[in-house]
Structure 1
Amino acid sequence: MAIRTQESLSGFIASDPQLSFTSKGDAKFYARVGREHYVRHDDGSFTQDETSFHDLVMYRRSAERAYEQFAKADSFIAEGYIHPYSYEKDGQTVTGEEFVAKRLGHDVARTIYTVDRTRRQAAGVEPAAGIAPAASVEQATGQSVAEPIGPPPAAASTPVAALGL
C-alpha cells in the first residue's frame, strides 16, 4: 500500500492566536505564522534570508485544542493543504492563500514541552483488547491499582527531554 502524504508547513506563531466560530458554528483557529528562510553558501555556511508570513487556519475540535495549546512565538509543524481564496472588497478583487492545518504540533527540534501520557477515558467504554482492567492487574500483581476518575494531576506529565526524544 502506498504511503499517503500531505503538504506540510513549519515555522513560528507570529501573532496572538484567535478563536472564532463560522456561520455553521464550527470553531476556527487563526494565526499569522512566520517562516524563516536561509541561503546555503558554497563553503557550507548559511545566511538568514527574509522571513515570510502566512495565514494558518484550523477548524472544529482541533481548532479549540490548538487555541488552548499554542501561543505567540511557539514553533510548530503543521500538516494540511494550501487554500487559495478571493473576495470582493470596495469593488476590487482581493486574492490570497491560507494554510489549512489538519494536524498541528509543536516542533520538537525547537521546543521543550511535556507530554501527558494518561489515557483519555469515555464513560462506559471498555478497555481496548490487550489492556487488562484494574481488577485483573490487582489479581496478577497483588498490588492495588486505582482507576483514573478525573483529569490527571499535573505530575502525570513527563518532560520530553527526560524521555530521550
Structure 2
Amino acid sequence: MGTKIPISIAGNLVADPELSVGESGVAHAKLRVAVNQRIQGADGTWQDGEPVFHNVSAFRALAENSASSLRKGDPVTVAGELEFRSYEKDGERREARRIVADTIGPDLRFGTAVYQRMSHGTVAAPDAEVRAGVEAPVAAEAASPAYNVSSKSPVVVPPFAAAAGSEMSF
C-alpha cells in the first residue's frame, strides 16, 4: 500500500516530457523536474544547493497538454500527491517515489505564457482557431507559444479585438 502526501514544487524540466498511451487508452506523461535550493552564505552571496530530482506522472488531458506545451529547461510548477511505493525486483525489496500531478504549469517568474483553452475531449492543433465564451476568435499568431525562457523577455500579444461591425459607441 502506498502513502500519498500533498506536495507543490517549482523547478526546471530535465528532459522533454515522455508521452505514452497505456493499454486502457489513457495518456501518461513522465516528467523529470530538478529543484535547486538557493543558499545564502555568511558573506551575503547566493549559491545553488544540490538539486533534488523528482519524477512526475501526469494522466489524460494533463499529460497530453504537458507534452505538447513544455520542453526541456522550462521552469515549471507542479502540484499533486507525493506517492511512495515499495516493490520487489530480482528478489530485492526496493522503494520508489513520484509525484502524481493534479496541475502543471509554466513558472511565470521567468517568462510569460498565453493560455489557450481546449474544448472538452479534444486537443486542438497549435494553428487551430480557438473560441472561448464571448471573446473574439484568437488568430494563429496569438496561439503561437508566448513562453520564451531563453531570452526571458515577454512576448507581446495584441488584446482581443472587437469583431468587425460590433464596435460600441457612447
Q: 2:12, 2:75 within 8 Å by CA — same for their partners in 1?
A: yes
Query: CA RMSD for the aligned pairs?
Result: 2.8
Report the counterpart of residue 11 of structure 2 in structure 1: 11
Q: 1:86, 1:95 within 8 Å by CA — same for their partners in 2?
A: yes
Deviation at 1:85, TM superposition (A): 1.2
- The 3-state SS of whatever aligns with 2:105 is strand
Deviations 1:55-83 (A, max 9, x none): 01111111111110111111100111101
Report the counterpart of residue 110 of structure 2 in structure 1: 110
Q: Structure 1 residues 59 and 116 mapped into 2: Cα distance closer, same or farther (>3 Å)?
A: closer
- The 3-state SS of whatever aligns with 1:67 is helix
Report which of the two has the higher share of helix.
1
- Confirm whether residue 76 of structure 1 aligns to residue 76 of structure 2: yes
Report the counterpart of residue 63 of structure 2 in structure 1: 63
* TM alignment of 1:1-165, pairs within 5 A: 7-113=7-113, 115-116=114-115, 148=137, 152-157=138-143, 161=154, 162=156
Q: Structure 1 residues 27 and 121 mapped into 2: Cα distance closer, same or farther (>3 Å)?
A: closer
- The 3-state SS of whatever aligns with 2:77 is strand
- The 3-state SS of whatever aligns with 2:57 is strand
Counterparts of 2:119 and 2:59, CA distance in 1: 24
Using structure 2 for the length normalisation, give the TM-score: 0.66
Gaps of 5+ in 1: 1-5, 133-146
State the AA in 2 paired with 1:44.
Answer: G
Q: 1:31, 1:57 within 8 Å by CA — same for their partners in 2?
A: yes
Counterparts of 2:85 and 2:10, CA distance in 1: 21
Deviation at 1:155, TM superposition (A): 2.5
Using structure 1 for the length normalisation, give the TM-score: 0.67
- The 3-state SS of whatever aligns with 1:65 is helix
State the AA in 1 paired with 2:83.
Answer: H
Counterparts of 2:119 and 2:82, CA distance in 1: 34
- The 3-state SS of whatever aligns with 1:16 is coil
Gaps of 5+ in 2: 1-5, 121-131, 148-153, 158-170
Q: 2:86, 2:94 within 8 Å by CA — same for their partners in 1?
A: yes
